[in-house]
Structure 1
Amino acid sequence: MLRLGVLDQTPVLTGSNAVEAMKQTVELARITEKLGYSRYWVSEHHDTISLAGSSPEVLLAAIGAHTSRIRIGSGGVMLPHYSPYKVAENFRVLEALYPGRIDLGIGRAPGGMPAATRALRYGRPPEIAEAFPAALEELGGYLRPVRGTAEVRPGSGLQATPLVETSPEIWLLGSSDYSARRASELGASFSFAHFINGEGGQSAVQHYYETFRPGPLGAEPRANACVMVLCADTDEEADRLAAPLDLKLLLLEQGRFGIDITLEQALVYPYTEFERIRIRHNRKRMLVGGPEKIKTQLLEFSRSYGVEEVIVNSITPDFASRVRSYELVAGLF
């Protein structure tokens, strides 16, 4: 049976605000747990008005307090901005609060524009991003202390506290084969962001499985793929609800950020022929349709990736249709 997880980017929906977006994230976690989803991940974005989640660690503490079974995690923490030691401590705190339920998803993208990156790194040289593999090994040494990793820790015997008996699952997130290679070399689980890049993910996951070896980030290969899914009661309604997302992705490609788009505006937007081609291309990152169409597409998607778990990212014009999408998809499996 196909397992389904959730990626929630905490979108600030049209006519809403960041406070409401945070409440909706916590509420959606409660709902999807009841629906039987396997895990619930929240993202990290900076200096954007359309996505409210800038601190996944803080948001996860709230989500954990309102759920009891579903795995919760970051999708993901942008490690080049931070001290591996502090990231390890944050997630050990979460693991102590919610034992056996925490996923530490790690990315290397900036999660924002250059000004935000400079502020987050606070004067540290940009070359720190080039030390990503070493930072991963150091993080693994703090979270999963195994033979051969102690020498990468800065300080003899340094431990990330609190000391708890369980450890987070460590996932590398990526939209290319780079993170797949790093995950297979270091023993991490791997999640491909198909919702960002609709091409090349299947080969990246295949390479991950073929070359995986145990390491400081884990011992067993585990992979999934994340895709945008918009499910409604009919194919026609799903296609209608996808119109604002189609337009927003197009405007982002054109460097037009932070534009609030209503469903009505999207439905009457005067697309050029080239823009329609771009929308069809972006639809490769999305599954849109009624229940039967989505069931067929999800099964084909999981088979093409060779994975038994798919992470679903649903963004619709309003919260009710978002919830409905997750309800319909859960009912298929």
Structure 2
Amino acid sequence: MSDAPLALSILDLVPVRTGQTSAQAITASLGLADAADRLGYRRYWFAEHHNMPAVASTTPPVLVAAAAARTSRIRLGSGGVMLPNHSPLVVAEQFAALEAIAPGRIDLGIGRAPGSDPVITQLLRQSGTTSDVERFPDNIRDILALSSPDGASLRFTSGQEYAVHATPAATASPELWLLGSSDYSAQLAASMGLPYVFANHFSGDGLERSLSLYRSQFRPAAEGDVPRTFLTANVVVGDTDADADALALPQLRMMARLRGGRPLTALETVEQAQAAEASDALAAPLASWAAERWFIGTADAVTERLRAVASRWEVDEVMISPVAAAHEADPMDAAPARLRTLERLAAAA
């Protein structure tokens, strides 16, 4: 096994299992954030998804604030805020306030996707022209300016200037990361001199091209800026390969539902998934795909694969999405299998 350091971070969608309330799911995830802080992980980010029975991470700023109250070292952020759903000023205000709550520990990851189905997207985007996807680059620039200590200024046709600050008397800004899985996001991050995250956990296609475009076209926004990037990965660690496969099955079945346009449900337990798979084989077509793109196995095997991926693509860190499911006997307000994944990877890395 290589002795090269492996920098790890965490992406959390706050999964909701069968019979679990959102309060219990959030409690379980906050327990993981506390553990990640103790175990030495670099970042803990919450995703933004809407109207999904198996996902409780609808409001990253709220979850970040809750995690900030329980942690002392780890960086916290969004993975990401889906900017077309929100007013840039509101996003800037939320994350400027978070920076004041946890100085030097806040990341603002921004994405362009809706994070839901077309109906919910329309409900989220009733805010008017600020939700125009075509204004995405301008809205990012607005957030950068508004959340800086200097703030921004508006100039009226009369020539009068109006100062705008996301929060008064700011001394620092959250660090902004651009998220994506396409040429567009990679090139935009490069043109703005921003750090970039490739969303490998749901779209592994185009990784090489996106990273190449980002690095070759990078233009520093300030002196000393260099390209910074990492990628995400779905990870399940088990006692054995068979144990890991069982823990991954509920999430694979959820992925099959998404891809097949089937009705979504809360995340099955391991036992529920095994019983259902025996009759409907829902996840069977994804087995080889997951074996290649997900990281499922024992701690040493998964760590070695993650280290190899980080080395091959020369990324600064790998952000894992711990997708191990629950057993029927597991407590509703905890996530033992996800916690074991974090503990064992931290020990192996």
Task: Report if TM-score (shorter chain) is over 0.5.
Answer: yes
Q: Match of 1:24, as an amino acid?
A: A
Counterpart of 2:12 (choices 2, 8, 11) is 8
Partner of 1:25: 29
Contact 1:249 1:282 in 2 (8 A): no
Does residue 324 (structure 1) correspond to residue 345 (structure 2)? The answer is no
C-alpha distance 50-305 of structure 1, shift in aligned 2 (>3 A): same
Q: Distance in 2 between matches of 1:273 and 1:83?
A: 43
Partner of 2:284: 276
TM-score for the superposition, normalised by structure 1: 0.92
TM-score for the superposition, normalised by structure 2: 0.88
Counterpart of 1:262 (choices 257, 269, 284) is 269
Counterpart of 1:72 (choices 73, 76, 81) is 76
Partner of 1:307: 315
Counterpart of 1:287 (choices 271, 278, 295) is 295
C-alpha distance 331-219 of structure 1, shift in aligned 2 (>3 A): same
Does residue 221 (structure 1) correspond to residue 213 (structure 2)? The answer is no
C-alpha distance 34-275 of structure 1, shift in aligned 2 (>3 A): closer
Paired residues, number: 330
Counterpart of 1:248 (choices 232, 251, 254) is 254
Partner of 1:184: 190
Contact 1:206 1:305 in 2 (8 A): no
Counterpart of 1:163 (choices 169, 183, 192) is 169
- Range moving further from structure 2, 302-311 or 104-113: 302-311
C-alpha distance 274-238 of structure 1, shift in aligned 2 (>3 A): closer
> Runs ≥4 in structure 1, deviation > 4 angstroms?
149-155, 270-275
- Which ranges in structure 1 are unaligned for 5 or more consecutive residues? none
3-state secondary structure, aligned to 2:77: strand
Identity %: 38
Does residue 96 (structure 1) correspond to residue 100 (structure 2)? The answer is yes
Q: Match of 2:73, as an amino acid?
A: R
Counterpart of 1:106 (choices 106, 110, 122) is 110
1:58 positional shift = 1.0
RMSD of aligned alpha carbons: 2.4
3-state secondary structure, aligned to 1:76: strand
- Which ranges in structure 2 are unaligned for 5 or more consecutive residues? 327-334
C-alpha distance 247-275 of structure 1, shift in aligned 2 (>3 A): closer
C-alpha distance 214-143 of structure 1, shift in aligned 2 (>3 A): farther
Partner of 1:61: 65
1:275 positional shift = 6.1
1:125 positional shift = 5.5
Q: Distance in 1 between matches of 2:47 and 2:314?
A: 24
Partner of 2:332: none
1:123 positional shift = 5.4
Q: Distance in 1 between matches of 2:226 and 2:124?
A: 33
Q: Match of 1:62, as an amino acid?
A: A
